[in-house]
Structure 1
Amino acid sequence: MSSSLSGRTVLVTGATSGIGHQTARLLAERGATVLVHGRTAEEAHAAVDRLVTLSDVRASQLCAYGADFSHLEEVEQLAARILAGHPHLDVLVNNAGMAAPERHTVTADGNEIAFQVNFLAHYLLTNLLEPALTSDAGGRVVNVSSSLHRTGSIAWNDPNRTRRYSRLAAYAQSQLALTVFAADPRVTAVSVHPGVCATSLLPLYAHEGEPPAAGAAHVVRLCDPAVEIVNGTYYDRDQRVSPAPAASEARTVKRLTKLADLLVGQSA
């Protein structure tokens, strides 16, 4: 039987559909207070309404927040609202993600859009929420990554891939960066590939996938304080495995931190 998560507060980004929505449902059904993030406040409130209507979840367990991760200013505003309303945060699930578009697309902040939405926004959000992320046993960050990080490389001299753009390479780079970020010593974090699921990202992987709830179960397991984690660990579903070699190199972690600080600083 699953243990209760009553008394714990969890923020799930990208919780209006797919794995994120099912993660929010499973966490709330186990008693957690869940902060439901969506691209807009309207989408987040609609997701909360669905959870209350279709699940055994009380409205008092759910809080809706909107922020478009293609605008870093909105990420900063989101962090400020969460710190004001929830100064004690047990778990941050960095789940929001998008497939890189066919055409090279740059955000208003000047970053390739998949790199910003999938990685930079989560990097900024995690750092801004660090004061709220509890140091109590079980406090952690769970990065929902991808097995495709193994095919990626970070274009250090051209992270926006302006000289040579491929949507698959851009997506893989964003997932590799998110996986590397789990080894950042500032917070306790892990990464997980939740499996190939029937979500909007399915065309990147295969023609068929498991239900999103199956992937969400692997994410929720890592949110449970009864599951001990080691910083920087990578899971393929419920199995601890080695990530791509670059993801555990101290030099790469430091280099990525320096690059990310530079890129998110553009919005300041």
Structure 2
Amino acid sequence: MSSSEGARRALVIGGTSGVGRGLAQWLAGKHVHVTVAGRSQERGGAVVEACREVWPEGEFDFMSVDAFSIKALADACAAYARSSSRLDYLVLTQGMATIQGYTPTDSGLDQKLVLHHFGRMASILALRDLLTTTSGKDGADVRVLSVLSAGVHSPLAAYKQDPILRNNYSIKNAADFAGFAQDLCLDGVSRETPGVAFVHAAPGFVRTNWGSEFPSALRWMVRGLQVFGKSEAACAAEMGKALVDPRYAGGFHLMGPTGNPVPKTKIHNDEAVEFMWKATKDAVLPAMTGQPTKSES
């Protein structure tokens, strides 16, 4: 670590584009040192340079990681934890928009669900000790922000019958599962991690490269509609409230696109939290060491 060891630090996974890129630059504007993590070194390097323009005295770097692989995420986060003395903000924005069916990754879990849920939980588990250690430092206000669909998705009533969505996969079910599981698991991990805030947020409609995996006709339709969306910078200013607003300090929270709290789904209860958090850990922990998930083995 440098002489700025006591300064706030953030890791933005998915920070090479879209909302993650906007949040990385927003954090730089708040004088937070930022590590941008993603697959593309070229895009990551561009974000790093943009952050340096915002705050020339800041420390910014790129961490290469394939967010489709839970093991790669776990390894990268473990390496970050070994080399860093603190982590004040963990921001998770990795994602994709696709109409493909269930597409297994190296762990057996679906690509989209790894990006939107399982990989995010693996990152939190790999960094939880560092987050907890940081929360004990003077003046620390440690927070985890996962940007996906809080207050937008529907609950998935059959979550107990298919806790990794292997048998009932559809575009709508995948979206609802990822959002509902994020709600439950961030609530679950918050109960085990006092001193750290966990916020699930929805960004709203943003002008990003979201939908680049769609077929051409659908992709161009999305691009046309995005003219009416908010900019990355405007979105980041709203999403950034999860990291600084006193309403979101400590515990578990849901935040909507305008930065205000939104309610839980009607079946978000202690039983659902306990079940989904355990099921997710059962799927993720083996994958973090390169083994197939228990549900797939």
Aligned residue number for residue 195 of structure 1: 204
Amino acid at match of 1:140: R
Q: Distance in 1 between matches of 2:178 and 2:145?
A: 16
Aligned residue number for residue 123 of structure 2: 125
With normalisation by structure 2, the TM-score equals 0.78
Structure 1 pair 246/87, CA: closer, same or farther in 2 (3 Å)? farther
Give the ranges of 4+ consecutive aligned residues of structure 1 lying more than 6 Å apart after TM superposition: none
State which drifts further: 28-37 or 236-245: 236-245
Deviation at 1:266, TM superposition (A): 3.0
Aligned residue number for residue 260 of structure 2: 239
Q: Contact 1:150/1:243 (CA < 8 Å) preserved in 2?
A: no
CA distances 1:38-85 after superposition (whole Å, capped 9, x unpaired): 124454234313443xx3233742121111121111111111221122
Amino acid at match of 1:124: A
Q: Distance in 1 between matches of 2:21 and 2:32?
A: 14
Amino acid at match of 1:84: R
With normalisation by structure 1, the TM-score equals 0.86
Which aligned pairs between 1:1-268 and structure 2 lie closer than 5 A? 7-52=7-52, 55-58=53-56, 60-133=58-131, 134-136=134-136, 137-147=140-150, 149-153=152-156, 155-184=159-188, 185-187=191-193, 188-201=197-210, 207-208=225-226, 209-224=229-244, 228-236=248-256, 237-247=258-268, 249-267=269-287, 268=289
Q: How many residues align?
A: 260
Deviation at 1:104, TM superposition (A): 2.4
> What's the Cα RMSD here?
2.6
Amino acid at match of 1:143: S
Larger Rg belongs to: 2
Please give the secondary structure, in 2, of the residue aligned with 1:240: coil
Structure 1 pair 210/81, CA: closer, same or farther in 2 (3 Å)? same
Q: Contact 1:149/1:173 (CA < 8 Å) preserved in 2?
A: no
Structure 1 pair 227/163, CA: closer, same or farther in 2 (3 Å)? closer
Higher relative contact order (CA 8 A, sep 6+): 2
Aligned residue number for residue 294 of structure 2: none
Please give the secondary structure, in 2, of the residue aligned with 1:151: coil
Deviation at 1:148, TM superposition (A): 6.8
Please give the secondary structure, in 1, of the residue aligned with 2:81: helix
Identity of aligned residues (%): 22
Q: Distance in 1 between matches of 2:279 and 2:20?
A: 27
Q: Distance in 1 between matches of 2:246 and 2:210?
A: 30
Q: Distance in 2 between matches of 1:234 and 1:228?
A: 9
Q: Distance in 2 between matches of 1:211 and 1:142?
A: 19
Please give the secondary structure, in 1, of the residue aligned with 2:240: helix
Please give the secondary structure, in 2, of the residue aligned with 1:132: helix
